Amino acid sequence: MIDPNEVDRAVIGVLAADATLAGLLPGGVYWDLAPIGTTAFAVVGLSTSRGLAELNDGTTARTFVYLVKAVARGTSSSPTAAADARIQALLDHGSLTLSAAAGCSLMVMRWIDRVRYTESTTASEIWQHRGGRYEVTVTPTSS
């Protein structure tokens, strides 16, 4: 049986293990929210998910679409641009280390669309958000 939580962990794991990304976003990689006070970090969240009901009644594969974005304080877009490029290099048609507990293996992981916006939390505090949504399709290792 597929454990989607293990797939979540694997996505975070591949980002958290990368030294280049850690250099660009020293605050770390978090699910949904980063700790208060962190000023340059990556966030992973679940956007959508689905089974492929057309194939073998939905037991053949599952797809999870993750929002993965770099977030950094400041008006310059350069830090998040570099981090976004690194995230894409890691995830787009990349590999995942899935534990046995995940109950599945990776079929394909790919970039599907872009996310970018600027947030103003106060009149003097600007944040850059930049990243994309990534589709991760897995298939059970045993039925």
Partner 1 sequence: MPNQLRLSGFVELKRELGTFAPDARDATRPILAARATDARDELVAAYPSITGALRAGVALIPRIGRGIAAVITLRSGSDHAHLYEFGTVHAGPHATFLPITERARRASTDDVVDYVEGQGIKVSRLHD
Instruction: By CB under 8 A, name the one of 3, 129, 139, 140 that touches partner 1.
Output: 129
Q: Is 43 in the site for partner 1 (CB under 8 A)?
A: yes
Q: Which two tokens stand for residue 29?
A: 């990689």
Instruction: Report the DSSP beta bridge partners of residue 31.
Output: 44
Strand pairing of 40-51 and 29-31? parallel
Instruction: Report the DSSP beta bridge partners of residue 140.
Output: 104
Instruction: By CB under 8 A, name the one of 75, 117, 123, 143 that touches partner 1.
Output: 117
- Cβ atoms of residues 5 and 102 within 8 Å: no
Whichever of 97 and 118 has its CB closer to partner 1, that residue is: 118
Q: Which range touches partner 1 (CB under 8 A), out of 1-9, 20-28, 41-49, 98-106?
A: 41-49
CA–CA dist 112, 68 (Å, integer) = 11
CA–CA dist 140, 104 (Å, integer) = 4
Q: Is 105 in the site for partner 1 (CB under 8 A)?
A: no
The distance of closest approach from Cβ of residue 48 to partner 1 in the complex, given in angstroms and rounded to an integer, is 4
CA–CA dist 119, 129 (Å, integer) = 8
Q: Is 1 in the site for partner 1 (CB under 8 A)?
A: no
* Interface residue list for partner 1 (CB under 8 A): 32-34, 36, 43, 45-50, 52, 54, 65, 67, 69, 71, 73, 115, 117, 119, 121, 127, 129
